[in-house]
């Protein structure tokens, strides 16, 4: 199976001289299409840096990243932005929605920014899936934290990206809302064949994934399939 996202000998060094820190120290990893991968590790292990480099938000000091056949290294900022807009979905821990737009407007924002017309059927399906049928015209301030994060999940899926990156998506949520968000991500993988890469420090969240990668000191120290029973 070809990898939709892959990194080869990825290195990221911050600072120089004696104070230099290697956040990533030669990471080679691939993410097959339709897989749900959780990346874990202690603070400072390099898990966030790995995700940022994979998503084209940070530029590695060595190695290559390829998303859907496109190598990120030589891309200009404009091209990178375009790639993020078209091929990547993002879910952050907080501050995920624009307060001035309604839930539905937030949901279709990646398409609007690209100047594309949303596929009404698909948008409708997403709204139903995340269970916000009666809230679509509400502003984020009128939604609960869980509801806001569900809109964010739907937004990450709306343009059918090659990969969805989720950065601690449940970090700000209570357990019930966390479960809902994790289920949604699972559903995206199972029903829509979406590729998901999730950074988390919560073992319960990681347990929902198909595969678990653990980082320490900028290297992969564990890479194994999650046993279905554990899910």
Partner 1 sequence: MTRYVFRGLGARKLRTALTALAVVLGVAMISGTYVLTDTIDKAFSDVFQTASQGVDVSVTGAKPAGFGSDQTSPPIDESLLPKVQAVDGVRVAEAGVFQQVSIRNKKGDSIGAGGAPNFISSNSNPPFNAFRYVEGAPPRTADQTALDQKTADDEGFKVGDKVTVVGLPGAKTYTVSGVAKFGTESSLAGASVAITTLPEAQRMAGYQGKVDSISVAGDDGVGPTELKTRVADALRGDAVTVRTGKEEADRQANDLQDQLSFLQTGLLVFAGIAVFVGAFVIYNTFSITVAQRTRELALLRTLGATRRQVLRSIVLEALVVGFGAAVIGLLGGLLIAQGLQALFKAVGADLPDTGSVIKSRTIIVALVVGTVVTVIASLAPALRSTRIAPVVALREGLVEQRRGGRIRTIIAVLLAVLGVALLLIGLFGNTSGGSAAALMGLGALVVFLAVAMLSPILVRPLAALVGRPLQAVFGITGRLARENTLRNPGRTAVTASALMIGVALVAFVAIFAAGLRGSIDKSVDGTFPSGNLIVVNQDGFTPISEQAATAVRDVPGVDNVAAVRFASAKVQGDTGTTPVIGIDTGAATSLYKADWKDGSAATLGQLGDDGVVVDSNSGVGKGKKVGDKLVLTTPTGEQVTYTIKGLLDAGDFSLLGGGIVVPNDRLSRDFNVKGDAFIFVDFADGANPAQTRAAVDKTLATRFPNAESQTRNEFKDSQNAQLTPLLVLIYVLLALSVLVSLFGIVNTLALSTYERTRELGMMRAIGTSRRQVRSIVRQESVITSLIGAVLGVVLGVLFALLISRPLADEGFTLTFPILTLILLLVLAALFGVLAAIGPARRAARLDVLKALAYE
Provide, rounded to whole angstroms, the least separation between the CB of residue 206 and partner 1: 22
Give the range of 82-90, 120-128, 173-181, 197-205 binding partner 1 by CB under 8 A: 82-90
Instruction: Give 3-state DSSP helix, strand, coil % of the chain, rounded to 5.
Output: 35, 30, 35
Q: What is the largest CA-CA distance in the chain?
A: 57
- Is the Cα dihedral 27, 28, 30, 36 positive or negative? negative
- Quick check: 57 binds partner 1 (CB under 8 A)? yes
Q: Work out which of 4, 10, 90, 170 binds partner 1, going by CB under 8 A.
A: 90
Q: Which of 12, 84, 135, 150 binds partner 1 (CB under 8 A)?
A: 84
Tell me the C-alpha to C-alpha distance, in Å, between residue 201 and each of 45, 75, 79, 205, 225.
11, 31, 32, 8, 17
**Residue 112 found at the interface with partner 1 (CB under 8 A):** yes
Using the rule CB under 8 A, which residue among 39, 55, 72, 199 binds partner 1?
Answer: 55
Residues belonging to the chain: 231
Angle between helices 175-192 and 145-158 (to 10 degrees): 20
Closer to partner 1 by CB, 36 or 165: give it: 165
Question: Using an 8 Å Cβ cutoff, are 96 and 152 in contact?
Answer: yes
Chain positions 118 to 157 lying near partner 1, rule: CB under 8 A, are 155
Least distance to partner 1, CB of residue 172, Å:
10
Written as six digits, the tokens of 31 are 């993410």
Q: Give the three-class secondary structure for 54.
A: helix
Q: Of residues 3, 58, 202, 217, which one binds partner 1 by CB under 8 A?
A: 58
Candidates 114, 221, 225, 230; binder of partner 1 (CB under 8 A) is 114
Q: What residues line the site for partner 1 (CB under 8 A)?
A: 52, 55, 57-58, 77-78, 81-82, 84-86, 88-90, 92, 95-96, 98-101, 109-110, 112-115, 155
């Amino acid at each position: 199976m070809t990898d939709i996202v892959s990194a080869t000998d990825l290195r990221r060094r911050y600072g120089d001289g004696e104070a230099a820190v290697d956040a990533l120290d030669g990471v080679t990893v691939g993410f097959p299409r339709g897989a749900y991968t959780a990346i874990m590790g202690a603070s400072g292990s390099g898990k966030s840096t790995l995700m940022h480099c994979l998503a084209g938000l940070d530029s590695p000091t060595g190695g290559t990243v390829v998303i859907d056949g496109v190598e990120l290294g030589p891309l200009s900022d404009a091209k990178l932005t375009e790639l993020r807009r078209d091929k990547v979905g993002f879910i952050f821990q907080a501050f995920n929605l624009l307060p001035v737009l309604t839930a539905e407007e937030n949901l279709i924002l990646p398409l609007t920014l690209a100047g594309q017309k949303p596929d009404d059927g698909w948008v409708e399906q997403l709204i139903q899936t995340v269970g916000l049928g009666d809230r679509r015209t509400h502003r984020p301030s009128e939604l609960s934290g869980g509801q806001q994060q569900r809109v964010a999940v739907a937004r990450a899926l709306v343009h059918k990206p090659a990969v969805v990156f989720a950065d601690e998506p449940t970090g700000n949520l209570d357990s019930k809302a966390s479960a809902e968000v994790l289920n949604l991500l699972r559903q995206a993988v199972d029903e829509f064949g979406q590729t998901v890469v999730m950074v988390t420090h919560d073992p319960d969240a990681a347990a929902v994934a198909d595969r678990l990668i653990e980082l320490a000191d900028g290297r992969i120290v564990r890479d194994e399939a999650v046993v279905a029973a554990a899910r």
